[in-house]
């Protein structure tokens, strides 16, 4: 079972197009020999073009942070999977906890977005994960099951192999409080079991499950050594090119 790791940067609402170009001018020389892992950077939508231009000819891929499930229409302020693809993206982050918390996304809306992303040929990175309160009340598995059902329902084996799951416990996001490799491994094993129940063992074994939540240069190696962890979704520490390069090369 060898799953190529996927190391993805989620820049959230940071950086202008000029700052995006400046990032890649420093970052690309640091990682140009590094093909062991798949590397994806997800800037704000207005910086996608700058990122795609800056990474042209390199092995770095560009992703979006969100999209609407319809391909076009009267949805002011939204962007679609087709637009993202036409702009040069290969990936899209869907169902991030910040989208669920602040923008009312639900398992149903995330499911529709995954469908649309897959139809457009994008690789969705679907975020799942519990709140601190849910973990403390023993509800982690129930939450993960519900999020996984949202991610998996209506899809077949081929679909699931074209997506990645990112386990992001909400209490570890932006808090500096990283989940231990053991906590992450347990959650990933649970998610893989859910995938197995839906798609069978072979497909579940191929599904990539990333970890996100305060991944830093100092803890990346310990996390990535854990066989259940197939990569990282990095927020704050991906904004600095030197710091993200250390994580990529853990
Ligand atoms: P931090 O790495 O800043 O904790 O953010 C994690 C995250 O939300 C990535 O999507």
CA dist 88 and 65 (Å) reads 14
pTM of the model: 0.97
CA 237 to ligand 1: nearest atom: 2
Q: Where does 32-106 have alpha helices with state H?
A: 48-55, 81-86, 97-102
- In a domain, residue 243? The reply is yes
CA dist 181 and 127 (Å) reads 18
Work out the pLDDT band at 176, boundaries 50, 70, 90. confident
User: Is residue 31 pLDDT above 70, yes or no?
Assistant: yes
Work out the pLDDT band at 1, boundaries 50, 70, 90. low
What pLDDT sits at residue 106? 97
What pLDDT sits at residue 178? 87
What pLDDT sits at residue 229? 96
Q: In this structure, what CATH number is given to the domain that contains residue 79?
A: 3.20.20.70
Q: Are strands 38-42 and 231-234 parallel, antiparallel or unpaired?
A: unpaired
- In a domain, residue 1? The reply is no
User: Is residue 148 pLDDT above 90, yes or no?
Assistant: yes
Mean per-residue pLDDT, 135-151 = 97
- Which residues are annotated as catalytic? 96, 168
Give the list of residues 6+ apart from residue 221 with CB closer than 8 angstroms, or none: 250
Ligand 1: residue whose CA is nearest its atom 2? 235
Dist. CA 149 → ligand 1 center (Å): 23
Q: Are strands 123-128 and 164-167 parallel, antiparallel or unpaired?
A: parallel
The parent domain of residue 154 ranges over 6-248
What pLDDT sits at residue 185? 95
Dist. CA 104 → ligand 1 center (Å): 19
Q: What percent of the chain has pLDDT over 70?
A: 100
**Domains of the chain: total:** 1
User: Is residue 48 pLDDT above 70, yes or no?
Assistant: yes
Mean per-residue pLDDT, 92-96 = 98
Dist. CA 73 → ligand 1 center (Å): 31
Instruction: Indicate if ligand 1 lies below 6 Å from the C-beta of 96.
Output: yes
What pLDDT sits at residue 2? 78
Instruction: Indicate if ligand 1 lies below 6 Å from the C-beta of 234.
Output: yes
């Amino acid at each position: 079972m060898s799953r190529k790791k996927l190391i993805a940067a989620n820049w959230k609402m940071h950086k202008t197009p000029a700052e995006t170009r400046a990032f890649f001018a420093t970052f690309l020389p640091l990682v140009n020999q590094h093909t062991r892992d798949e590397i994806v950077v997800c800037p704000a939508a207005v910086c996608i073009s700058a990122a795609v231009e800056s990474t042209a000819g390199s092995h770095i891929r560009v992703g979006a942070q969100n999209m609407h499930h319809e391909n076009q229409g009267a949805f002011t302020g939204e962007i679609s999977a087709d637009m993202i693809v036409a702009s040069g993206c290969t990936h899209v982050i869907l169902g991030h906890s910040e989208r669920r918390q602040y923008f009312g996304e639900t398992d149903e809306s995330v499911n529709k977005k995954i469908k649309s992303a897959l139809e457009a040929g994008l690789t969705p990175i679907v975020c799942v994960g519990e709140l601190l309160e849910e973990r403390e009340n023993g509800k982690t598995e129930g939450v993960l099951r519900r999020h996984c059902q949202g991610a998996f329902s209506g899809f077949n084996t081929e679909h699931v192999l074209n997506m990645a799951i990112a386990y992001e416990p909400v209490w570890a996001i932006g808090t500096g409080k990283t989940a231990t490799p053991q906590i992450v491994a347990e959650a990933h094993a649970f998610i893989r079991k859910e995938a197995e129940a839906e798609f069978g063992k072979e497909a579940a074994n191929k599904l990539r499950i990333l970890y996100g939540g305060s991944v830093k240069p100092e803890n990346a190696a310990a996390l990535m050594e854990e066989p259940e962890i197939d990569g990282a979704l990095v927020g704050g520490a991906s904004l600095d090119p030197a710091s993200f390069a250390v994580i990529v090369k853990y």
